[in-house]
Amino acid sequence: QVQLQESGPGLVKPSETLSLTCTVSGGSISSYYWSWIRQPPGKGLEWIGYIYYSGSTNYNPSLKSRVTISVDTSKNQFSLKLSSVTAADTAVYYCARGITMPDWGQGTLVTVSS
């Protein structure tokens, strides 16, 4: 079974860029789609977007102007960048495999605060 692990800063200042990496183990990233989802504290889930291993992407229009998802097949990793963050971007960020998302990372809390 594929395992996923998110990593990155837990605190980001307003107006700066949030950067997270998801490391995939137990399988190759060179297949499947790879997704990012977030969950503000005490709230529901929001789909951020996905990337195919070839590099094609699809983003949630509500974030599209600020989000970039990229993949590094040599490191078996994919990444999320979210620019111009505000307190509303404070959330647990999850990475997941595929479109039906059978496998998830444990999640990482990112707080936006000065």
Partner 1 sequence: DIQMTQSPSSLSASVGDRVTITCRASQGISNYLAWFQQKPGKAPKSLIYAASSLQSGVPSKFSGSGSGTDFTLTISSLQPEDFATYYCQQYNSYPYSFGQGTKLEIK
Q: How far apart are CA 66 and CA 61, in angstroms?
A: 10
Nearer to partner 1, 7 or 73 (CB): 7
Can you tell me the distance from the alpha carbon of 91 to that of 67, in angstroms, rounded to the nearest whole number? 15
Q: Phi and psi for 89 in degrees, rounded to 5?
A: -90, 0
Element (H, E) at 69: strand 67-72
Q: Which is nearer to partner 1, 73 or 99 (CB)?
A: 99
Q: Please, which residue, 45 or 87, has the CB nearer to partner 1? A: 45
- Residue 99: CB minimum distance to partner 1, A: 5
Which residues are near partner 1 by CB under 8 A?
A: 37, 44-47, 58-62, 94, 99-107
* Tokens describing residue 3: 């395992």
Min CB(102)–partner 1 separation in Å: 5
